[in-house]
Structure 1
């Protein structure tokens, strides 16, 4: 029976593709205070700024490609049942070939109604004021902003509980509730932690292998270790 590999990924795996993360710098995301562009309050204050910000991110996404970290993760599907739980809003996992990807924090290439969170559309171009749902409600980026609920969390917990191996790649483990997923693994499940600046994981019951590398180099090592253990 094939083993199940569950992977939690963060901004670090997409950084090598050229997608920036505000947590690596001064609290700014592409030059903007995150409170202005990634909160419901920011949206209410200045929806035009928020729309412009995500329009630029959406256009940037067309200019980048998956990197080796994404590709190796997709390749592991030959040997394992792989489930990717990502904090990233880009589509680089899917473009690299990963089949089972759950986006905790939404998706840049989707929008949703401001009145009905279940009204979600694929969206690849700019989103503007006056782009409405069928009931003439403004559409907004399909992004989970700070202070909002994480609708996919229950599914992510259920997937995590089924893991035979659990890997954490390129995330600070400081954004909750995503960072708490590791607590739902069975205590016997090996945990692999890939990050060039790993932090201590408090109260971890699991066997832990820390790989202090960027995602692409760390994934090379992880692939060898996992395949050797089959």
Structure 2
């Protein structure tokens, strides 16, 4: 066993309340493109930042809905990896709050019960006019010309339905953010996985735990600004490191 994994396993085994905080690197290991990489084919001609604002949706709702529908179909074809399932195994062993910056549903499909989606979800649409929740089309077709797909209409007010994600210039969902800060404040161990530590205010979440005396374990192939606050830095992909961590803490049967 790598010594750092053993140290992290000791912290995990002794923890009474855990937070797992995941970022884009977690989903990328399942083949989900990161936001800035989500451009192939005809979509290469568009700046993702220009497609992820309320103003872009107002100007061309079919273009923006088409891009997000294309991204949602990519996620549907992806599968959770062993790291996602290891997170669910941690939840089964110790009281855990899962906080994610990812807008996919890979954690849910791996068995996690109720992740806090700080940046919203591709699978939680809402009306752009009255803000009522709206069902996401089931098995919707790919955008007909590779780009535009008219959004559905709200059942309440007939306004165009928008993706349920946080766009540039928008605040994080206040309830999710408050719950995340509360969880980070009350845990004795936080695992940050696949996050860059650069996207604020989400990047503050691990710092809350550290400032209040909790331990932080970081899982990331690369160095990040969170390195100095982490009690243990585990270098490597989440799909390999997290199962090894769970095995070291409780044995391989914990993931079955």
Partners of 2:134 and 2:18 in 1: CA distance:
30
For 1:219 and 1:202, the matched residues in 2 are separated by: 18
* Distance in 1 of aligned mates of 2:151 and 2:22: 32
Corresponding residue for 1:215? 238
Q: Taking structure 1 as reference, are residues 216 and 202 closer, same or farther at Cα in structure 2, changes over 3 Å only?
A: closer
TM-superposed CA distance for 1:133, in Å, is 3.8
Q: What is residue 109 of structure 2 aligned with on the other side?
A: 95
Q: Which runs of 5+ in 2 are unaligned?
A: 1-13, 141-148, 252-256
Secondary structure of 2:102's partner?
Answer: coil
Which of 154, 157, 171 pairs up with 2:181?
A: 157
- C-alpha distance in 2 between matches for 1:97 and 1:6: 16
* 1:166 shift after superposition: 0.2
Q: Within 5 Å, which residues of 2 pair with 1:83-162? A: 83-117=97-131, 119-125=132-138, 126=140, 128-129=150-151, 131-151=153-173, 152-162=176-186
Indicate if the aligned counterparts of 1:2 and 1:79 stay in contact, CA closer than 8 A: no
Distance 1:78 1:129, change over 3 A: closer
1:173 paired with 2:197, answer yes
Partner Cα distance (1:226, 1:164) in 2: 16
Whole-Å Cα distance in 1 between the matches of residues 78 and 137 of structure 2?
Answer: 14
Aligned residues: 221
Runs (4+) of structure 1 exceeding 4 A deviation are 224-228
Asked whether the 8 Å contact 2:188–2:215 carries over to 1, the reply is: yes
Q: Secondary structure at the match of 2:32?
A: coil
Residue of structure 2 equivalent to 1:50: 64
- Residue in 1 aligned with 2:27? 14
Deviation digits for residues 65-105 of structure 1, max 9, x if unmatched? 11011001101123211211000010110110011310001
Distance 2:106 2:37 in 1: 22
Whole-angstrom CA distance in 2 between matches of 1:77 and 1:155: 17
Cα pair 1:7 1:84 within 8 Å, conserved: yes
Structure 1 unmatched ranges of 5 or more: none
Contact 2:218 2:227 in 1 (8 A): no
TM-score, length-scaled by structure 2: 0.79
Instruction: Using the TM superposition, give the Cα deviation of residue 130 of structure 1 relative to its aligned residue in structure 2, in angstroms.
Output: 5.0
More strand by share: 1
1:167 CA displacement: 0.7
More helix by share: 2
Quote the residue 2:55 is aligned against.
41
